[in-house]
Amino acid sequence: MKYGFVKTAAATPKIRVADCEYNAEQIISLAKEAYENGASLVVFPELCVTGYTCSDLFFQTALLISAEKGAEKIISSTRELDIVIVFGAPVAVKQSLYNCAITIYKGEILGIVPKVNIPNYSEFYEVRQFMSGKNINECISFAGKKCVDISKNLLFQCSHMSDFSFGIEICEDLWVADSPSINLAKNGAAIICNLSSSDDVIGKAQYRRDLVKMQSGKLCCAYIYSDSGFGESTTDMVFSGQNIISENATVISESCRFNHGIIYADIDVEKLMEERRKTNTYNSNSDIDHIKVKYFDMNKREIKLTRKFPQTPFVPSDKSDLENRCEEIITIQATGLATRLEHTGIKNVVLGLSGGLDSTLALIVCVHTFDMLGLDRKNIHTVTMPCFGTTKRTKSNAEKLAEAYGVSFEEINISVAVLQHFKDIMHDEKITDITYENSQARERTQILMDLSNKYNGLVIGTGDLSELALGWATYNGDHMSMYAVNVSIPKTLVRYLTAYEAKIADETLKEVLLDVLATPVSPELLPPDDQGKIAQKTEDVVGPYELHDFFLYYMVRFGFAPSKIYYMAKIAFSGKYRDEVIKKWLTVFVKRFFAQQFKRSCLPDGPKVGSVTLSPRSDWRMPSDASVNAWLKDLENA
C-alpha cells in the first residue's frame, strides 16, 4: 500500500451448487492464497456461498442456515489474515430475503450490502426469491455477529490510508442507468467491487468488458468485477468466470474465461484521487443519498508490485494503433497551424531548419498544413544558419529535407555576424561559455523574425515539451516564435512521429528522415570534435530524455511526489539505469523544472495535443519563483 498502490484480487472459486460447506472451504482457500500473494482486498462472486443458481432452494430453511454457517466459517477461518474479503451470500431479514455482499476483515463483519436492482427476465428471475435492498437500512444479527449494518449506502475505508476506499454493487446494479456505484464514487469510493453471476452467450463477454471499462472511466475509479464460473454452470446456463479489474477506463487485469482462480492488479488509488481533484466537475451533489463509512484498521505495508510502468508514457501503448495515433497527432498540429494561417490571412511560414529532430517534425507539420490548405509548399521558407558548431551531417540533412519536401530553402551563415556581436559586447570568442552559445541562438531567431517580415510569414517554433520542462531553450532565442507547433510534443514522441513519417515516405525522403533519427540530439552551439562530429550532446548535460519524459508525465499529469516517481522509475527502467542514476537525473529534473518556469510564463501559442502541456494560459499555472525545497526533501528521503 506504499505510494498509493493497493494490491487487489478478483477470485472465482470452484463451487458446488447448494453445498455451502464445500463452497466456504473453496472461498477460504482462495482468500488465503490472495493474502499470501500480497493482496489487501479480494472480491468473490455473487451468492458464491450457496451458488447463484439455487433458484427456489433459496426458500428452503436448510439452505439459509447452511449459508449462514458457511459465512461464519469463512469469518472465523480468516481472522488472522490482514486482508479485506468480500463474498456473496443470501441474508434473511424478517420476512424478506436479500442477495448480499458480506465484507469482512480480521474476524469481523464490516457491513452487508444488498443488491438493489433485481432482474426479472427469462434467464435471471431473482425477483421470485429476492427483495431489492434499495430501502433497507438496519442493524441485524448475522453469522454470529450482532448489530451488523445492512445498507446499500456503505462505504469502506482504510483508517491509515483514506484513499483506499471502496463501495459495492452487485451484478445487475452495473447494467442499469442509475447504478449504486455512481453515488458511492461521488462520496469518495476509489474502488467499486462488483460481485457478479453473469451467464455467457455469444458476444456478451466483450460487452461486459466494455461496460466495466467504461464505468471505471466514467466514475474515475477502479472497478473489480468478480464473476461466477465453473460449478455454477448448471441446468440452462453457462458461467465463464470472466474476472476483470479496470482502472479509469483501462483494463489492467483480466482472467481467461471458462476457468476458476484469482487475478491480481495493483490499483493506484492516489492517482485516481488526484485525477478527481483536477476535474472540478467531479463533485458530490447535495441530493445524493447519505453514506455511512465503515473503517478497517489495516496498516500500510510495502507490496511487491506486479504492475508495469511503460518507459515512454507519452507514446501510445497499443503498438497496433500507433500509426493511427501518429497520424492523428500530426493532424492536430497541422490543424492548429492551419487555423492560425486562415485567421491571419497569411500564406507563408518561416522555419529554421537545422537538420535536427525537432525542426524536422516542425517541417513535417508545415507540409501537412500547406497540403491541407492547398497552399504551395514553396511558401514554406526554410533557412539553415550554420555557425561554429554546425556539422556537415546536419547541414546536409537540412538541404535534403527541403529538397525532398519541395519547400523553399536558403542558407545564411551567421559566423561573421556572431563574431561581430562578440566584439560589440567585448566577449572573447575563445571562451565557449553560455554567452558564446546563446549569442548564436539569438542571432538565428533575429534572422527568422526579420525574414518573416520580408516574406510576410509566421515564424514557426520548433522547441518541444521536454525542452520546455527542463528550460533547455535560449530565452528570446529558440524560446520565441509566432506559433510553436511542437509545444506539447515530448522528445520521446517526436521520435515516434518522425519515424511514422519515414515509414510512409518515399525512399529518398525516408533515407534522410532515418538519418535525422540516428543523429544525436544537440543544439550544435559548440565546435565539432576533431573528426567533425557532434561534440555537444544534450543528453550528456541534462540527462536522458526518456527519463525526463517519464518524470514529466507523472509529475504534471498526476501530481505525484518525486519519491513516488522515483519508485516507479526504478521499476520501469530496471536493468537499463542504476537506481542512483535515476535519482540523479530526477533531482536535476525537479530543480530545473522549478527554476525555469519563467521561460514557460511567456510562451507563444501552440496546439495542445495530449493531456500534459505547459501552456501558461490554460494547462499549467505555476508561480515563477516557487520554492523547490519540499520536492527535494521528499526525494532525499526516498
Which percentage of the chain shows pLDDT scores above 70? 98
pLDDT number for residue 153 = 95
Residue 581 lies in a domain: yes
CATH number, domain containing residue 29: 3.60.110.10
Residue 413 lies in a domain: yes
Q: Are 284 and 327 contained in the same domain?
A: no
CB atoms within 10 A of CB 226: 33
Per-residue pLDDT of 109-125, as tens digits, reads: 999 999 999 988 756 67
* Tally of structural domains, the chain: 2
What is the Cα gyration radius of the chain? 31
Which percentage of the chain shows pLDDT scores above 90? 84
**What DSSP letter does each residue of 99-128 carry, written as one string?**
EEEEEEETTEEEEEEE------SSS--GGG
Average pLDDT over residues 605-620: 92
Tell me which residue range forms the domain holding 626.
Answer: 319-636
Q: Are 323 and 292 contained in the same domain?
A: no
CATH number, domain containing residue 341: 3.40.50.620
pTM check: above 0.75: yes
pLDDT number for residue 628 = 97
- Closest alpha carbon to 519 in 536, 530, 534, 532: 534
Q: How far apart are CA 508 and CA 503, in angstroms?
A: 12
For the cut 80, the answer to whether the pLDDT of residue 317 exceeds it is no
Side by side, which strands form the sheet with 108-114? 137-142, 145-151, 108-114, 96-105, 84-93, 41-43, 5-12, 261-268
Q: Are 405 and 354 contained in the same domain?
A: yes
Residue 148 lies in a domain: yes
Residue 420 lies in a domain: yes
| Residue 236: band (very low, low, confident or very high) from pLDDT cuts 50, 70, 90 | confident
Q: How far apart are CA 75 and CA 68, in angstroms?
A: 11
Cell numbers at 240, concatenated: 465463464
Residue 611 lies in a domain: yes
Residue 238 lies in a domain: yes
Determine the straight-line distance between the first and last CA of the chain, rounded to whole angstroms: 15
For the cut 70, the answer to whether the pLDDT of residue 358 exceeds it is yes
Q: Are 404 and 484 contained in the same domain?
A: yes
Q: Are 352 and 490 contained in the same domain?
A: yes
Residue 429 lies in a domain: yes
| Residue 532: band (very low, low, confident or very high) from pLDDT cuts 50, 70, 90 | confident
Q: Are 449 and 553 contained in the same domain?
A: yes
As to burial, measured by CB atoms within 10 angstroms (0-12 exposed, 13-18 middle, 19+ buried), residue 453 is exposed
Per-residue pLDDT of 22-80, as tens digits, reads: 999 999 999 999 999 999 999 999 999 999 999 999 999 999 999 999 999 999 999 99
| Residue 619: band (very low, low, confident or very high) from pLDDT cuts 50, 70, 90 | confident
Q: Are 351 and 283 contained in the same domain?
A: no
Q: Are 260 and 343 contained in the same domain?
A: no
Q: Are 282 and 367 contained in the same domain?
A: no
Give catalytic residue positions: 46, 115, 171
Q: Please, what is the Cα angle at 34 between 30 and 36, to 5 degrees?
A: 115
pLDDT number for residue 286 = 46
Q: Are 198 and 336 contained in the same domain?
A: no
Q: Are 164 and 282 contained in the same domain?
A: yes
Per-residue pLDDT of 374-401, as tens digits, reads: 999 999 999 999 999 999 999 999 999 9
Per-residue pLDDT of 118-155, as tens digits, reads: 988 756 678 899 999 999 999 999 999 999 999 999 99
Q: Are 26 and 62 contained in the same domain?
A: yes
Residue 314 lies in a domain: no
